[in-house]
């Protein structure tokens, strides 16, 4: 196995059946029907496959979305076989998706993710420079797959403004000092797992350039070991993010500290971002602004 991948748009029925098998392996649940994915890719959508030589080991699936009178690409699934996670394939698939989307005229790609999954958060905000200003409670209802079973399926809606200076030029997020990071207090249990104090929302202020939201680095392990603590993280970070978003903050970056059991989302005021929030029309198509 190597860390150099071949990316390819998947378009045939046989290729889409391969995607179905990968879905089963990743989520242990029934896959999307081929007739649905085939129709989507013939009507403004895409499935990008990631290959290790001739073996399909990851994919990225998106289709057109429509909101506020404008069209964007809704990126619905990013799936990677366990043995290939953490090796750059997810990032490669997203940049490949961006290249395809720009060529089609898209300027905005959206997707959702569990805000307590630290690896996904680092990819979305730290590497890709997506942002989020929308917290969705129990987005998918009760879920039975291996990763989501048992907890409210809360999600952050990521906005990836793929032609913006925020993505292309990567302007600096305000640096955090120790006092900034300690504003929302966390401690360790006797077992060594981080937990938030009970008054996290009362510690939020709206007069700072940036606010920092702690999340556990190993959420799935915490969930398996102490489910009640995992639920506590869900409910307290939900309240914290909803409060910050209501005060005009936008999650836009990540702070990671070596050896720490938490990482932080950096939230800044929306008007500080180098993004034109009106530029999500699909150019060269008969869509109305």
Whether residue 286 is predicted with pLDDT greater than 80 in this model: the reply is no
| 160 in the same domain as 185 | no
Q: What is the DSSP letter of 125?
A: I
The predicted model gives 249-257 an average pLDDT of: 96
Residue 289: inside a domain: no
Alpha-carbon dihedral sign for residues 64, 66, 67, 70: positive
Mean pLDDT, rounded, for 212-237 = 95
pLDDT the model gives residue 144: 59
Average of pLDDT values for 33-62? Answer: 97
The pLDDT value recorded for residue 198 is 81
More confident residue, 46 or 208: 46
Q: In a 10 Å sphere around its CB, with 0-12 CB exposed, 13-18 middle and 19+ buried, how is residue 59 labelled?
A: buried
The rounded percent of the chain whose pLDDT value lies above 70 is: 92
150 and 24 in a common domain: yes
Selected residue with higher pLDDT from 46 and 203: 46
**Could you give the CA distance from residue 259 to residue 227 in angstroms, rounded to a whole number?**
23
Per-residue confidence (pLDDT) for residue 110, from 0 to 100: 98
Assess whether pLDDT exceeds 90 at residue 190: yes
User: Which residues span the domain enclosing 113?
Assistant: 6-168
Residues 19 and 138 in one domain: yes
Lowest mean pLDDT among 34-48, 134-148, 180-194: 134-148
- Answer yes or no: do 164 and 182 share one domain: no
What is the CB neighbour count within 10 angstroms for residue 26? Answer: 21
């Amino acid at each position: 196995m190597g860390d150099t991948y071949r990316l390819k748009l998947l378009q045939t029925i046989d290729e889409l059946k391969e995607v179905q098998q990968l879905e089963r392996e990743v989520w242990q649940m029934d896959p999307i029907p081929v007739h649905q994915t085939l129709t989507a890719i013939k009507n403004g959508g895409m499935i990008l496959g990631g290959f290790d030589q001739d073996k399909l080991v990851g994919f990225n699936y998106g289709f057109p979305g429509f909101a506020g009178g404008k069209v964007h690409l809704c990126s619905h699934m990013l799936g990677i076989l366990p043995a290939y996670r953490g090796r750059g394939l997810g990032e490669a698939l997203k940049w490949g998706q961006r290249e395809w989307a720009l060529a089609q005229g898209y300027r905005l790609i959206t997707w959702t993710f569990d805000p307590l999954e630290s690896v996904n958060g680092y990819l979305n905000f730290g590497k890709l420079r997506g942002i989020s200003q929308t917290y969705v409670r129990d987005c998918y209802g009760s879920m039975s797959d291996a990763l989501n079973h048992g907890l409210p399926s809360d999600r952050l809606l990521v906005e990836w403004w793929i032609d913006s200076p925020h993505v292309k030029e990567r302007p600096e997020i305000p640096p955090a000092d120790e006092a900034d990071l300690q504003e929302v207090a966390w401690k360790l249990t006797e077992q060594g797992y981080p937990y938030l104090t009970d008054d996290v929302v009362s510690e939020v202020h709206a007069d700072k350039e940036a606010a920092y939201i702690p999340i556990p680095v190993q959420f799935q392990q915490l969930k398996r070991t102490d489910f009640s603590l995992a639920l506590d993280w869900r409910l307290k970070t939900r309240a914290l993010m909803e409060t910050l978003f209501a005060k005009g903050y936008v999650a836009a970056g990540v702070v990671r500290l070596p050896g720490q059991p938490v990482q932080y989302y950096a939230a800044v005021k929306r008007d500080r971002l180098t993004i034109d929030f009106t530029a999500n029309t699909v150019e060269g198509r008969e869509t109305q602004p």
